[in-house]
Amino acid sequence: MKKMNNLFKKICLWSLVVTMASCDFLDTKPYDFVAPETFYQNEKDCTMALAGVYYTLVKGTVYGNNYSLMFSNTDDLSYFAREFDGNPVKNHGAVCNTHDAANAQLFDTWTDLYDGINNANVLLDNIDKAEFPEDKEYIRQRIKGETKFLRAYYHFLLVQGWYEVPIRTETVTDIATSSKAATPHAEALDWIIQEMEDCIDMVDDKEYDKSPSHVKKTIVEGILARVCLWRAGYPSEGGQPFYEKAAKYAKAVYDSKKHKLYQNDIYAIWKMMASDQYDPEYNESMWEAEFIGTRDDGKYTEGRMGNEIGNMQNANCGKGYGAAFYAGSLILWDLYEKNPGDLRRDLAMAPYQIAANGTEKAWGKTAIVERCCGKFRREWEKSTPQHKNFTEENFPILRYADVLLMLAEAELESKGVTTLAVSAINEVRTRAGIGKLPETISADALRQEIRDERGRELCFEALRKYDLIRWGIYVETISKNLANAIEDARWSNKKANRSGAEGFTRSTQDKHQFLPIPNKELSVNTKLEQNSYWNPKK
């Protein structure tokens, strides 16, 4: 175990100077003191600008809170453990599907993702002007590859979230003259896939192997598998060719032998993500949104892992506050109980809360849905002093366990039940302490096992909602399956544990598979129309 190779510790301050988007904590825009046509002189300048492109990942509007939690983390397994009153502001809007196109958080996230894309375009426009020593030309190519990938990834987050959005590959200097129509969903995904494929041999395949901060070859391949699975399913229904591509890229990660599942301690990688540590032996956590410091120690980040999501921790205990807005549903509990002894149950659904005196207070045997997300816990943080709300806990964007389950799914959907498909899911099950599936399993049974296994392994990681959507079962799963689970006698009658979940099931409609394009954006971009999920006239 070693201290994490932290991109932002090295160059985050520089990125705040050169990024082309204004920062929350600066009153003036960077254009006031640096111009792109004069800034890009050498490798150092380009590296600083690259950090500015990465910085979008750790904005509070992206993986710090909005996109990772509010927009993506309520589903059939994770519910909002607060009272529901239908107020789109008080209940964080998208958390309970009460939002509309006027929601400020949607606009802020939309804006920051496009700022990240514009930062990437500025760097790509100018990097060839910079002087690199002849023996460092490979670094120029690497920076280009990381930048192109991040630009494509930010577009994917937008397409996954808002359905149809403009693809922007040119720098925007004046939004008033940059109106652009949305690219059709399937066409946008095909562009994203091609862009990422172009990056495979441009990004690093050696130096960054031990760092989850940087984009490297196996990350590009793993994310490509994710994008191809989305392209294969609903709503673009690309089918077989894209399942084959997903299998190809997931297997490329598998064959690299650079990543393994952490063994003997199911909690280890989560404790490391909470304490700025990384394990170079297994490399299970492949790519993380990496938050640093606590604000109180002079380092500014916008991460709320452990605070908004995580185990319940009393603010008076002196070690930070765990608000515990997200708790595990009865459906998640029953998924674990399907295989008694699953080691992940008490990791995902913490069996205790932290009391005001700092001690563990166990939940009773009948307290099931009171159990909050346990993957992020303030007690695992090492930094001091601890801020009440902002933390240095990282968020996993891609784990090797996800790659194995994507491999199993893509193999099944492209080839049927194969030895590799069964082996991949069994690798995840074995680490969790549950039995292997037989190779004689039917295709339908394996499909359901993969879906269940993704729930058990990847809950609370901003993936389940999008799995349900691409499988074409989101609305039914929320409005019917979750609603039925809430009526189970085992579900608590406490308002905080029932009201938010009930409100979510009542609010969910077909349109909530995607977010509405913000009204503010529509008022500025005159060529853009509201997406068809939120515009019944289209």
Residue 84 in any domain: the answer is: yes
Regarding whether 460 and 436 lie in a shared domain, the answer is yes
CATH code of the domain in which 235 resides: 1.25.40.900
Burial of 359 (0-12, 13-18, 19+ CB in 10 A): exposed
Residue where a domain terminates, one of 408, 441, 466 = 466
CATH code of the domain in which 106 resides: 1.25.40.390
Report whether 166 contacts 182 (CB < 8 A): yes
- Per-residue pLDDT tens over the stretch 161-176: 999 999 999 999 887 7
Q: What is the largest CA-CA distance in the chain?
A: 70
Q: What is the pLDDT of residue 363?
A: 97
Regarding whether 214 and 86 lie in a shared domain, the answer is no
Regarding whether 478 and 459 lie in a shared domain, the answer is no
pLDDT band at 3 (very low <50, low <70, confident <90, very high): very low
Residue 2 in any domain: the answer is: no
Residue 293 in any domain: the answer is: no
Regarding whether 185 and 52 lie in a shared domain, the answer is yes
Residue range(s) defining the domain that contains residue 133: 38-202+471-537
Residue 519 in any domain: the answer is: yes
Regarding whether 355 and 213 lie in a shared domain, the answer is no
Residue with the two structure tokens 């943080």? 381
7-11, 428-432, 516-520: least confidently modelled range: 7-11
Regarding whether 307 and 265 lie in a shared domain, the answer is no
Regarding whether 268 and 224 lie in a shared domain, the answer is yes
The per-residue pLDDT of the chain, averaged, comes to 91
Q: What is the pLDDT of residue 7?
A: 53
Q: Higher model confidence: residue 538 or residue 534?
A: 534
Burial of 301 (0-12, 13-18, 19+ CB in 10 A): buried
Q: What is the pLDDT of residue 157?
A: 98
Span 400-413, average pLDDT: 98
Regarding whether 196 and 56 lie in a shared domain, the answer is yes
Span 318-322, average pLDDT: 91
Distances (CA, A) of 175 to 29, 179, 414, 519: 15, 7, 43, 15
Report whether 449 contacts 436 (CB < 8 A): no
Regarding whether 189 and 224 lie in a shared domain, the answer is no
Residue 10 in any domain: the answer is: no
Conformational region of residue 358, where left means phi above 0, alpha means psi within -120 to 50, and beta covers everything else? left
Regarding whether 218 and 120 lie in a shared domain, the answer is no
Residue 30 in any domain: the answer is: no
- Per-residue pLDDT tens over the stretch 128-164: 999 999 999 999 999 999 999 999 999 999 999 999 9
Residue where a domain terminates, one of 411, 435, 466 = 466
How many structural domains are present in the chain? 3
Regarding whether 420 and 528 lie in a shared domain, the answer is no
Residue where a domain terminates, one of 392, 412, 438 = 392
Residue 20 in any domain: the answer is: no
pLDDT band at 208 (very low <50, low <70, confident <90, very high): confident
% of the chain at pLDDT higher than 90: 83
Q: Higher model confidence: residue 496 or residue 10?
A: 496
Q: Higher model confidence: residue 266 or residue 36?
A: 266
Other beta carbons within 10 Å of 346: 15
Residue 278 in any domain: the answer is: no
Span 485-502, average pLDDT: 93
pLDDT band at 319 (very low <50, low <70, confident <90, very high): confident
Span 485-501, average pLDDT: 93
- Per-residue pLDDT tens over the stretch 8-35: 444 444 444 333 333 332 232 333 446 7
H helix intervals, 259-303: 268-274
d(C-alpha 259, C-alpha 256), whole Å:
8
- Per-residue pLDDT tens over the stretch 61-116: 999 999 999 999 999 999 999 988 666 555 467 899 999 999 999 999 999 999 99
Regarding whether 57 and 146 lie in a shared domain, the answer is yes
- Per-residue pLDDT tens over the stretch 433-449: 999 999 999 999 999 99
Residue 359 has pLDDT above 70, yes or no: yes
Instruction: Kindly report the pTM of this predicted structure.
Output: 0.94
Span 239-268, average pLDDT: 97
